């Protein structure tokens, strides 16, 4: 049976929205949230008019991407908690899921425009805060397991990852992705418990992060 015109229209609208969100996720993660809307439309394979019908302005698009992405990362984090044998392993798994986590960090801590939106949107803030709670559980659990150094806290992990995921120079995308993987590996070694030099200052908590 052929779908009626209204059903096809709704399906087309959903498909366009999904394409736009997918394109925006990729572009925001690589270049930040200030990229021209026309470039996002081209990458999504839709017209600029279609983009603006789905998302009337950049803030609406950033907000939709943030909600979608934080929800994805939160689901991934909870799955890691359930499926991995330890909190340390769950933390490592989450850090290696770099594309989704990279965008969440980009939106939450790197992009000035996105920061303004996150501060003003209760749904996004609730997802971000819940993700920090899960991350805090990984940090505390991994420390109790004796695998994560004792002089770090949730804020340290989030800030370190945000620093690493700022746009990195690279000859091409393959080099950039390899650089991210290598930096994550170095970061994990630095977080690992062992014979390490004490860190300066105090451990940073989630409350030290910009709300």
Q: Dump pLDDT digits (tens) for 82-109.
A: 999 999 999 999 888 866 777 777 777 7
Q: How far apart are CA 102 and CA 158, in angstroms?
A: 11
- In the block, tokens 């394109």 appear at 23
Q: Three-state SS for 148?
A: strand
- Position 194 pLDDT exceeds 70: yes
Q: Are 203 and 140 in contact (CB under 8 A)?
A: no
Q: How far apart are CA 100 and CA 97, in angstroms?
A: 6
What is the C-alpha R_g of the chain?
Answer: 19
Model pLDDT, residue 6: 57
Model pLDDT, residue 18: 92
Distances (CA, A) of 37 to 21, 74, 106, 110, 143: 12, 27, 18, 19, 44
Per-residue pLDDT tens for 152-179? 999 999 888 777 766 555 567 778 778 8
Which tokens go with 8? 């096809």
* CATH architecture designation of domain 5-208: Orthogonal Bundle (1.10)
């Amino acid at each position: 049976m052929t779908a009626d015109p209204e059903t096809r229209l709704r399906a087309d609208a959903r498909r366009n929205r999904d394409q736009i969100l997918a394109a925006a996720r990729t572009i925001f993660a690589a270049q930040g949230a200030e990229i021209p809307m026309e470039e996002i439309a081209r990458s999504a394979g839709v017209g600029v008019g279609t983009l603006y019908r789905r998302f009337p302005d950049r803030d609406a698009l950033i907000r939709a991407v943030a909600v979608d992405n934080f929800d994805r990362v939160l689901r991934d984090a909870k799955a890691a908690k359930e499926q991995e044998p330890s909190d340390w392993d769950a933390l490592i798994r989450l850090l290696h899921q770099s594309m989704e986590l990279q965008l969440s960090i980009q939106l939450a801590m790197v992009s000035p425009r996105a920061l303004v939106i996150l501060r003003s949107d209760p749904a996004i803030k609730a997802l971000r805060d819940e993700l920090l709670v899960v991350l805090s559980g990984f940090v505390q659990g991994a420390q109790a397991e004796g695998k994560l150094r004792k002089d770090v806290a949730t804020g340290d992990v989030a800030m370190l990852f945000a620093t690493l995921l700022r746009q990195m120079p690279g000859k091409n995308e393959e080099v950039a992705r390899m650089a991210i993987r290598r930096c994550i590996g170095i970061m994990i070694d630095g977080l690992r418990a062992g014979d390490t030099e004490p860190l300066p200052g105090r451990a940073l908590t989630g409350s030290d992060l910009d709300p």
